[in-house]
Amino acid sequence: MDTGTAAGRNRRGPAGQGIWAGAAYDRRPGAIAEARSFMAGFLERARTEHGVEVPEQADADAQLVVSELVTNAFKYAPGPCALDLEIRGPLLEITLWDTNTALPMARAAEPGRIGQHGLEIVFAVADGFDVRREPVGKRITVTLALGPIGPFDV
């Protein structure tokens, strides 16, 4: 696990300051709960050490997104996964890398279907979603708003 202030980590624009943490997980029992706990701890540190306002709903949504992404990585990818968390202004970016090159596909809603609703859940709470193939695997980034987003915050 690595944590800190991310100077210049913004890959989409000019160098900025953000709060960042990262961790890697393997498929051992308890790793999904550990990833959720890592998310909760990250947001708590953002509140207490950096004065970031994190609404209760955003905290719950972030833990849900992490749980769904890590669960899917363990279910469909043959290797470990890496989780990066970053807060830049009013935005929380949750990025998960895994070893499966297949891109996730949302299924049509089927109220009677048991399971396989993870991506639907992520889409329902996310303010942004991006997936990219990598030389090995793929990288999924989910963006959640921690507060009002202005025209220049994205």
| Predicted pLDDT of residue 8 | 37
| Predicted pLDDT of residue 40 | 98
The arithmetic mean of pLDDT across residues 73-84, rounded, is: 94
Contacts of 29 (CB under 8 A, 6+ apart): none
| Predicted pLDDT of residue 13 | 34
The arithmetic mean of pLDDT across residues 94-115, rounded, is: 81
131-146: pLDDT as tens digits: 999 999 999 999 999 9
Give percent of the chain with pLDDT exceeding 90: 67
| Predicted pLDDT of residue 151 | 58
147: pLDDT confidence band, cut at 50, 70 and 90?
A: confident
List the beta strands (DSSP E) in the chain: 2-7, 17-25, 81-88, 91-98, 128-133, 138-145
Q: 107 or 123: whose pLDDT is higher?
A: 123
The arithmetic mean of pLDDT across residues 52-80, rounded, is: 94
9-65: pLDDT as tens digits: 433 333 346 899 999 999 899 999 999 999 999 999 999 999 999 999 999 999 999
Instruction: Taking the CA atoms of 65, 71, 73 and 75 in sequence, report the sign of the dihedral they define.
Output: negative
111: pLDDT confidence band, cut at 50, 70 and 90?
A: confident
Q: Catalogue all structural domains in the chain, each as residue range(s) with its CATH number.
A: 2-9+18-145 (3.30.565.10)
